[in-house]
């Protein structure tokens, strides 16, 4: 199983990544189910942070499609490593937007990221404003 976590920036005029979510989720849920890919898509303002996990061949294909997708830019890989077990659960793709207070955000993050390494959690934490 290959795990990738990346950051990117929305190209939506509104500068809000969350506006792109319905369309992206429709594609992701339909396709990831077939490809054996699962993951978590986090948004805040114009930022996307996505964790994807799955078989290496499916992941290579998805990554190529993601690089071609003009709904986002500046795709930056934060983590790319083999994992024995899925760390982000069994969702074909779950979405979370950072809207809550920092405390509530931290609580939800802890639950969502239970079982994830500290280093990985830091990537999600880094998405918050100071």
Of residues 14 and 106, the one with the C-beta less far from ligand FMN? 14
Judged by CB, which is closer to ligand FMN: 64, or 104?
A: 64
Q: Which stretch binds ligand FMN (CB under 6 A): 22-30, 80-88, 109-117, 122-130?
A: 22-30
Q: 43: burial class by Cβ within 10 Å (0-12, 13-18, 19+)? A: buried
Pairing of strands 2-10, 94-97: unpaired
Of these, 3, 32, 58, 120, which contacts ligand FMN (CB under 6 A)? Answer: 32
Pick the binder of ligand FMN from 14, 27, 60, 128 (CB under 6 A): 27
The least CB distance from residue 32 to ligand FMN, in Å, is 5
d(CA 51, CA 96): 12
Residue 7 · residue 80 · CB < 8 Å = no
# residues near ligand FMN by CB under 6 A? 17
Region for 88 from its dihedrals, namely left if φ exceeds 0, alpha if ψ lies in -120 to 50, beta otherwise: alpha
Does the footprint of ligand FMN cover residue 5 (CB under 6 A)? no
Residue 66 or 79: the one with the smaller Cβ distance to ligand FMN is 66
- Name the residues that contact ligand FMN, by CB under 6 A: 24, 27-28, 31-32, 39, 41, 48, 50, 52, 62, 65-66, 69, 71-72, 93
């Amino acid at each position: 199983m290959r795990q990738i976590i990346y950051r990117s920036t929305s190209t939506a005029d509104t500068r809000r990544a969350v506006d792109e979510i319905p369309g992206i989720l429709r594609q992701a849920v339909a396709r990831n189910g077939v490809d054996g890919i699962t993951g978590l898509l986090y948004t805040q303002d114009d930022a996307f942070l996505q964790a994807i996990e799955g078989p290496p061949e499916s992941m290579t294909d998805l990554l190529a499609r993601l690089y071609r997708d003009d709904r986002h830019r500046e795709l930056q890989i934060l983590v790319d490593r083999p994992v024995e077990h899925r760390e982000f659960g069994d969702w074909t793709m779950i979405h979370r937007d950072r809207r809550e207070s920092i405390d509530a955000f931290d609580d939800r993050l802890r639950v969502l990221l239970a079982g994830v390494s500290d280093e990985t959690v830091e990537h999600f934490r880094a998405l918050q404003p100071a």
